[in-house]
A and B are shown apart, each in its own frame.
Chain A
Amino acid sequence: MRVTKGAQIVAGTALLALAVAACGGGASDTGGTATGGGSAETPVRMELGEPQELLVPSNTTESEGAETLAALFEPLVNYDENKNAVEAAAESITSDDQKVWTIKLKSGYTWHNGEPLIAQNYVDAWNYAANQENAQSAGYFFGRIDGFADLNPGEGKTVTTKTMKGLEAVDDTTLKVTLAAPFSQFKVMLGYTAFYPLPKAAFGPDGKVTQAYGEQPIGQGLFKMDKAYKKGTDQTIDMTVYDKYPGTKPKGWTKLQFKLYTDSDVAFNDLQANNLDIHDSLSPAAISTAKSTLGERYQDQPDAGVGYIGVPLKYNPELDKVDIRKAISMAIDRKTIAETVFSGTRAPADDFINPAIAGYRQGACKACTYNPAEAKKLYDAAGGPKTLELGYNADGGHKEWMEAVANNLRQNLGIEATAKPFEKFAAILDELDKKTYKGLFRMGWAIDYPSAENYLSPIFSTGAIATGSNYGGYSNKKFDDLISKGDQAATVEEGLKFYQQADDILNEELPYIPVYFYRNNSGYSTSVKNVKINLLNQIEWAEVEKV
């Protein structure tokens, strides 16, 4: 009797709750996706965080938006398994002097609205992106093109032209790009989101990309948007394979659904319950479970990012001596940090170039080997400072490993080392600029394009102090020269030789101290197979198969 009563209460509650939620309405109800497996109409469901901005290629510099756009657009080049750039939407990309580049487009590509893809689409998109008036966050990618300066006269000045003189559509299928200075890696850059073209339909009467376009981009790639993505309201981004896509289409399925999650562990639960098919950012907490429950469906592969301890060379002369930096580096137990603090989601760093990219050499950084005895000797001999501060931004899960490094330094060097939290990474940079902070700082680098050059020039070249990410203020003429030689080299491979020589200088001088390489930890459900993740951390959709 009592049991029955209890059951009634529970059932009544459930009914009432349903009734009330029904009054709410509004929320989109796609339902029915729980059946799993089988039909081509069931979408492949992929985990995604909420894109920060509307979906405009030139204003997307974060991974979630880039992942979405990569499904909608065909880049000029893709990256093959040997880490080389291979033509995708481009038929050929050639240059005699590494300065003037001729890009021939493949025929057969059309925009999702049916219009053909023409060279002018690239010219329009790139000029738009580079123009400072449009305040596009990826605008700086076009900095190497001749005429970029005209579109970026600086703060408070008006832009007098709308085009870069280095950009020209010779005919419908030929694009001529003139760079301000030779750059042998230009072709490698072209796979990045910022270099996608834009159709005529993207621009409003005022010449700006419209909000409607940002919500429902028209691309020329494998998938097209089913409907506009209303930021803030929609929890899925739905796509269907574009019929007229001339490249390889996935076998046996046509629908792709990005599901937005705020918490990666929640997505992992959904994966286990088969409500989600692909999850490519498993948290350290999920990984131990993933290994045992997913088995072969758990994947662990190098990811192109690098984590460093930054050295404020420009702001703290006490750290000027190379031996001090070497000693600090040798005192860090990278292996334990990678395995224990990061539960194996990182690998110990032994070069400034990541193993995922061509140009990496195992053990290139000799001072990256753990050697506490030698470290202590070196540090004392060089007269290193008795106290060191290690700044980190508290918003990104860096506390544990920075504490571990501080611990290493305390024990192995016999100094006072403390980890100091900052509210955001920008706060560290602010204090460095104002010279109110002289400590070491945490730093990470995720590549923009898969070239060894991208680990060197933007962080360590003299030019990057003012305009790039050289937060330490490192400057070395020989290094700059080697980079420039690499830029001017006749081929990508020849350029690589010079970049490796520049890398040697870094490994010898340690302007930053590399600590770990990122790894990509992903998992997929029982309804899909053959999930491959490329150098840009994006899924190769054409390869994915349904089970």
Chain B
Amino acid sequence: MGRYIIRRLLQSIPVLLGATLLIFSIVFALPGDPIAALAGEKRADPNIVAILREQYHLNDPLLLQYWHYISGVLFRGDFGVTFADVPVSQIMAGKFQVTINLAVTALIIEAVIGVGLGLWAALRRGKATDTMILASTLLLISVPTLVSGFILQYMLGVKLKQWTGVDIFPIAGISNGLRSYLLPGFVLAGVSIAYLTRLTRTSLAETLRADFIRTATAKGLPRRRVVGRHALRNALIPLITFLGADLGNLMGGAVITERIFNLPGVGLQLFDSVYLREQPMVVGIVTVLVLIYIVANLAVDVMYAVLDPRIRYE
């Protein structure tokens, strides 16, 4: 197992290098001078532009620029500075904190609600409850985050507060600490909740029909134990895969949610940085995102082995 994990981590090095070089060249290839972009609509002073280009190595060829950048990251752990002279790592630390809080909140919400509802539906298959759950997941899937976000923000954040005077769901920013993430977390989790519910329902329903469940029931085990220990544990494997992959999606897909709820996270930063051609910022964020994907996938694979002893890697 240990060897497997080390091998997987080593494999991630070329993946990281490849990804960063690719992103670096893409940002490099975008039209528009990053220094001119800083000046907005006024024509930047050509004199100043020249000095700044020199200062940020923008006149060097792509590969040399990449080398400047990646050697800093690899040997000094230095992600460079933005065009406003702020260290990229300082900005990233703050933004990733927010996005991770948001993504983990969303993940927990979707795991609890999604698995819970799926379980409930599977156990009452064909009954009214089941139909209702299926119908509501369909609704969740079909409403885009943008819409649900604004509606929930307005109804729960603005109207509810105006009517009751109680401030339960802060609607913007992170200044309310943990509560700040509840509503955005729910909105971000929305679509995944629906998928997870359906996945759980199908997976569990299938397992419940398996021979070993009939055996377990036949030998007189209480229903709770049959479902909890035998069925659910087996049904969990596809769910774990889904959740693992979804953590990455949630982090990347947080752009819209972060915008609606004014969370200063990584998604928004990435958007702005691409817009301003901030190569070090863009590449830095993408590097960390790739790392998170790799680690999340690794964690999923390890969980497999724990859940199902038949699946063991060597």
B268 CB within 8 Å of chain A? yes
With the chains together, A5 CA to B44 CA distance in Å?
63
* Known interface pairs A14-B182, A17-B105, A426-B37; A275-B170 also in contact (CB < 8 Å): yes
B299 CB within 8 Å of chain A? no
* Known interface pairs A263-B260, A272-B158; A233-B90 also in contact (CB < 8 Å): yes
Number of contacting residues on B, CB 8 A?
Answer: 71
Q: Could you pull out 12 A-B pairs where Cβ atoms are within 8 angstroms?
A: A10-B113, A24-B104, A52-B84, A54-B84, A232-B264, A233-B90, A266-B171, A269-B158, A270-B173, A273-B157, A273-B171, A275-B170
B62 CB within 8 Å of chain A? no
A65 to B, closest residue via Cβ: B84
B31 touches A231 (CB 8 A): no
Contacts A20-B105, A21-B101, A21-B177 supplied; 4 other A-B pairs, CB < 8 Å: A9-B112, A132-B51, A260-B262, A267-B172
Which of A14, A52, A230 is within 8 Å of B90, CB to CB? Answer: A230
B141 CB within 8 Å of chain A? no
A424 touches B32 (CB 8 A): yes
Of residues 139 through 154 on chain B, the ones whose CB sits less than 8 Å from some CB of chain A are 153-154
- Interfacial chain A residues near B32, Cβ < 8 Å: 423-424, 426-427
With the chains together, A247 CA to B36 CA distance in Å?
39
Chain B positions near chain A (C-beta within 8 angstroms)? 31-33, 36-48, 50-52, 55, 84-86, 90-95, 97-98, 100-101, 104-105, 108-109, 112-113, 116, 120, 129, 153-154, 157-158, 161-162, 167, 170-179, 181-182, 185, 258-262, 264, 268-269, 275
* Known interface pairs A54-B86, A426-B32, A427-B31; A9-B176 also in contact (CB < 8 Å): no
Q: Total number of A-B contacts with CB less than 8 angstroms?
A: 191
With the chains together, A505 CA to B209 CA distance in Å?
88
- Interfacial chain B residues near A137, Cβ < 8 Å: 38-39, 44-45, 48
Which of A30, A53, A61, A154 is within 8 Å of B175, CB to CB? Answer: A30
Task: Quote the shortest CB–CB distance from B30 to chain A (angstroms).
Answer: 9
Of residues 141 through 157 on chain A, the ones whose CB sits less than 8 Å from some CB of chain B are 152, 154-156
Of residues 179 through 219 on chain A, the ones whose CB sits less than 8 Å from some CB of chain B are 211, 214
Of residues 85 through 120 on chain A, the ones whose CB sits less than 8 Å from some CB of chain B are none
* Known interface pairs A231-B91, A266-B262, A471-B43; A9-B113 also in contact (CB < 8 Å): yes
A232 touches B91 (CB 8 A): yes
* Known interface pairs A156-B50, A232-B91, A232-B269; A20-B108 also in contact (CB < 8 Å): yes
Q: Which of B41, B97, B105 has the most chain A CB within a 10 Å cutoff?
A: B41
- Interfacial chain B residues near A154, Cβ < 8 Å: 47
* Known interface pairs A20-B104, A262-B259, A266-B260; A273-B47 also in contact (CB < 8 Å): no
Report whether over half of chain B's contact residues are helix, strand or loop; otherwise say mixed. helix
B181 to A, closest residue via Cβ: A21
Task: Quote the shortest CB–CB distance from B113 to chain A (angstroms).
Answer: 6
B-contact 0/1 string along A13-36, CB 8 Å cutoff: 110111011101011111101100
B169 to A, closest residue via Cβ: A273
* Known interface pairs A24-B101, A137-B39, A266-B260; A54-B85 also in contact (CB < 8 Å): yes
Task: Quote the shortest CB–CB distance from A35 to chain B (angstroms).
Answer: 9
With the chains together, A29 CA to B275 CA distance in Å?
30
A2 CB within 8 Å of chain B? yes
Of residues 200 through 259 on chain A, the ones whose CB sits less than 8 Å from some CB of chain B are 211, 214, 230-236, 259
With the chains together, A429 CA to B46 CA distance in Å?
13
- Interfacial chain A residues near B176, Cβ < 8 Å: 29, 31, 34
With the chains together, A471 CA to B50 CA distance in Å?
20
B154 touches A269 (CB 8 A): yes
A133 CB within 8 Å of chain B? yes
B-contact 0/1 string along A312-352, CB 8 Å cutoff: 00000000000000000000000000000000000000000
A152 to B, closest residue via Cβ: B47
- Interfacial chain B residues near A547, Cβ < 8 Å: none
A132 touches B48 (CB 8 A): yes
A62 CB within 8 Å of chain B? yes
A16 touches B46 (CB 8 A): no
B36 to A, closest residue via Cβ: A426
- Interfacial chain B residues near A53, Cβ < 8 Å: 84
A139 touches B48 (CB 8 A): yes
A458 to B, closest residue via Cβ: B42
Which of B43, B93, B178, B260 is within 8 Å of A469, CB to CB? Answer: B43
A232 touches B86 (CB 8 A): yes
- Interfacial chain B residues near A9, Cβ < 8 Å: 112-113, 116
